[in-house]
Amino acid sequence: MFQKRSPHVLKHARRAVALFAAAALVPAAASLCPADVAAPAAPKTSTMSTTDTTSSTAAKPVTKQSWGKLADGRAVSLYTLDNGKGLRVRVSDYGALLVSIEVPDKTGKIADVALGYNTLDGYVNDTGTYFGAVVGRVANRIANGKFSLGGKTYTLFTNNTPADIPCSLHGGKVGFDRAVWNAAPASDGTPAIVLKYLSKDGEEGYPGNLSVTVTYTLLPDNTLRVRYAAVTDKATPVNLSQHSYFNLAGEGNGTILEHKLTLNAPKLTPVTAGLIPTGEFLTVKDTPFDFTTPRTIGERINDKHQQLAFGAGYDHNWVLGGVSGGEPRFAAEVFEEKSGRVLTISTTEPGIQFYSGNFLDGTIRGKAGNPYVRRSGLALETQHFPDSPNQKNFPSITLQPGETYSSITEYKFSVR
């Protein structure tokens, strides 16, 4: 979601479940639910058949290299993870960035499918794409940069003004995407990197010292697993997400309009002109937002529909089917026919923001030197719902002292 325009808290989880049940919506609440909740199977409509391109090659050790310095002298590093079976990922401790994701096509040809920059300066000077970053303390938008908690109103920096309506986006002026995280390879020798960050009490207006851990792990079946954990010493809202943009034909290689998308989501949360949810739930059937069966992204993106006009295309939160929490369940699939690449996303989160790269305009040149034209990448941000602190009908994102925020999203790459 880019605008140039730009078990969680159980008592809140129970309240959210009750509200959702009353609305006959998703029987889910927060990203922490009891571990014994069963995850539903992938929908039959998701066309999940793939061809295995992995081999018996062992994973390679995680490597580290210098990636430059920030203006204040802080050193930034780049880490390479390689599972030895076709998936190689580069991660930076600046913004917990996924700098590149290299995967094979159906002929075995490797390409980087994640939009972004070759240099640290590219990310430092970026003006709002959030390419590859972990975003927080609260991902997505908070209306007017304000929320109330425990009888107190908190004011955040408003860094986004769609339709000239202010909001706080992805953590504010200096969100987690601008932090330098403490990073170290996993101690068990797996192709994994563990990144930690302490968001101090009052940072960007949020209460509480929030200790965050993000772990990227490459699994043998070419899955990139992202695990989030956080604890706090004061009640605070938390909603973390990964903001990579994908083009399965290869970054900088045309648009994503011919990619086929499936979303395990019968509803979405419609928005106002300021891209803030109305608090209602819209059934996607018979609308341009119905991706419950595979559909090319460009098929109805230019339909005359108020919600498409507000987002200049797709930039909305879909309500995922199945029970959130527990084990990751099927959320989305993307298929690019020419390369044969398939991306399957599973998550413990209740929602997913699909952004179709509407405000990329060709002024950014990617890692191969090609311009990122309009709709040359798509983001699928697993998350809790936008503006949750101000929406009584949405699952709570409040984390209390003594509790642990936990969330998992998996990105599986294969070919067909």
CA separation for the pair 185, 194 (Å, rounded): 6
Catalytic one among 170, 243, 316, 384?
243
H/E element, 308? helix 306-311
CA separation for the pair 223, 149 (Å, rounded): 38
Token readout for 146 is 């304000």
Token readout for 359 is 């405000």
Q: Terminal CA-to-CA distance of the chain, rounded, Å?
A: 28
| Torsion sign across C-alpha atoms 221, 376, 381, 122 | positive
Among all chains, which residue has been given the structure tokens 């794409």?
129
Instruction: Give the helix ranges, DSSP H, for 71-185.
Output: 120-124
Catalytic one among 102, 203, 251, 381?
381
Among all chains, which residue has been given the structure tokens 């580290």?
64
Q: How far does Cα 352 stand from its chain's mean position?
A: 7
The 10 Å CB-count burial string (b at 16+, else e) for 49-58 is ebeebeeeee
Query: Is 243 among the residues known to form the active site?
Result: yes
Q: Three-state DSSP class for 303?
A: coil
In this structure, what is the dihedral angle of CA atoms 270, 271, 273, 274, given to the nearest 10 degrees? -170
CA separation for the pair 196, 202 (Å, rounded): 18
In this structure, what is the dihedral angle of CA atoms 370, 366, 225, 87, given to the nearest 10 degrees? 50
Asked if residues 204 and 172 have their Cβ atoms less than 8 Å apart, the reply is yes
Give me the active site residues, please. Answer: 243, 381
